[in-house]
Chain A
Amino acid sequence: MTMLTRRKFIIGSAATAAPLFGRAFAAAAAPKIVVIGGGFGGASLARYLRRHDPRLSITLIERDARYTTCPGSNGVLGGLYPLSQISFTYAQVKASGVDVINEEALRIEPAAKTVALASGQTVKFDYLVVSPGIDFMWSSIQGYSEQAAEIMPHAWKAGPQTSLLRRQLESMRDGGLVVIGVPAMPYRCPPGPYERASLIAYYLMAHKPKSKIIILDASDSFIKQDLFMEAWNRLYPGKIEWVPGSKSGKVMSVDTSTLTVSTGFDDYKAAVANIIPAQRAGGIAVRAGLDQGTGYCEIDPVTFESRVHKRIYVLGDATIAGEMPKSGFSANAQAKTCGRAILADIGGKVASPAKLLNICYSTADPNYAFSIVDAFALKDGTLRLTFDDNRTTPLGASDDEHRREAQSARSWYANITAEMFG
């Protein structure tokens, strides 16, 4: 295949009358693909399309100049490495030939096929991919708000909130209680709160040995629960207490003036309170009605096209993607599947169903990790697990197995972030 640069292609296409595109597009213009959100879904999609066809026009709209990954952010809280190690610029994305607009996308006009930006500018698209992540439902907890999160951080979008929670842990007196409030499902990164408890415990063991962690949970069970419990017993005995929903674990209200977290049954006086509120699809998807009023967006399980608008696609945490969890790995896998579907559509072809994976490592200390492996395929019109058994690291695995999983987790992070930002 001849790899034309975009500039050469545009000049070339103006000079020749031969139609270069499939049935959907006239001879002259390269299809214009606009991506909203530069995270695991959006950045992966933009890079995927750029790698597969240098002639496409690809624009990535992302509010922030830097992206800090949620995967790896619990390691910052545990003091394993600084935040800078999990932050990326869009320099390489730009260098690859993607137009990056560092602005907030305010509104989608599906009929006009435009996206309105905060500056007042509009961006035209032939294909739109919406990958906005999550927004918080502040009112899900009485007394909690965006302002309250400056005192009781959620740290569920990595960046300044991660740094704030880390500073609070560092300045906490020895003996202070750390409270982690976990919302009801569905939320971003289901094992995240428990990995967070593990790595905060790692920090406390060395620096605040009298301190403890209490997890106040809206749910009665969690993913990889037995593996987390095994790790806590081995590494942090007596350090982490988990209160399930059925034992009044659900956080109902908070008082930032006294750092009190209330479940309706008990009040907990925290030294550090990490309150994770309920979530829904990012605001731009909701404002465009892509969630049909449900909070998350239904998609076609083969193409990730929205169920609401043709040629508008949704990726990642903002979707309901059958049995796929809301994870960076899922969003990256969905991006590649969606990218293939868009390439097929441009060529006038029908995309065929893909097999998607989600592999999630949880780190309990720098040398102790475990994983869950999910494979998904199209079944009964949705994405279902292809096998349900033996998905996790076995209980009772050796220290060496946990060490190799921790090494794999670091290697996975390097590879997936290179695919997006390298």
Chain B
Amino acid sequence: MTWASVSARDLSGEGLADACTSCHGLGGRSQGYIPPIAGVGKTTLLRQLKAFRSQSVQATIMNRIARAYTDSELEALADYFSAAPRL
């Protein structure tokens, strides 16, 4: 595998997910009160994220954050974290 092909791999879900790990932990494996999201089913994650965005489920801060993301971005995030190993 060449260097270029390593760097050129699709980072869209991972790139978006970088913003999440500051709170949810590396790979979504959070310590403490903030929920771990690694390996949670994609459907569950996506439903939850959309519920935050539509304000139909109340969370501490996720209702505010989810507004920054489009449908396809939420789907990419759900894809990425559902595939992340729980360890």
Contact = CB atoms under 8 A, between A and B. Distances in A.
Interface of A: 1-2, 18-22, 25, 48, 53, 55, 329, 332-333, 336-337, 340, 343-344, 346-349, 352, 354-357, 359, 371, 373, 375, 377, 386-387, 390-391, 393, 401, 404-405, 407-408, 410-412, 414-416, 418-419
Q: Rank and list the top 3 A-B pairs by shortest CB-CB distance, nearest first.
A: A347-B7, A411-B32, A375-B68
Contact of B60 (A343, A349, A390, A404): A404
Measured as residues with beta carbon below 8 angstroms from the partner, the interface class of chain B is 20 to 34
Contacts of B4: 21-22, 347-349
Nearest to A51: B26
B81 to A, nearest CB: 14
Contacts, number: 124
Given A349-B4, A391-B64, A418-B31, 5 more contacts: A53-B6, A356-B19, A357-B68, A359-B22, A419-B22
Among B8, B31, B60, B69, the one with the most A-chain Cβ atoms within 10 Å of its Cβ is B60
Contacts of B8: 344, 347, 349
Among B1, B23, B31, the one with the most A-chain Cβ atoms within 10 Å of its Cβ is B23
Interface string B1-19: 1111111100100011011
B30 A411 contact: yes
A393 B62 CA distance: 11
25 contacts: A18-B2, A22-B4, A48-B18, A53-B7, A332-B22, A336-B19, A340-B15, A340-B18, A344-B8, A346-B3, A347-B7, A348-B4, A348-B7, A355-B69, A357-B19, A359-B65, A377-B68, A386-B67, A391-B64, A408-B34, A410-B32, A411-B30, A411-B32, A415-B30, A415-B31
Given A22-B3, A53-B6, A373-B61, A415 B33 contact: no
A411 B25 CA distance: 9
Contacts of B1: 1-2
A407 B25 CA distance: 15
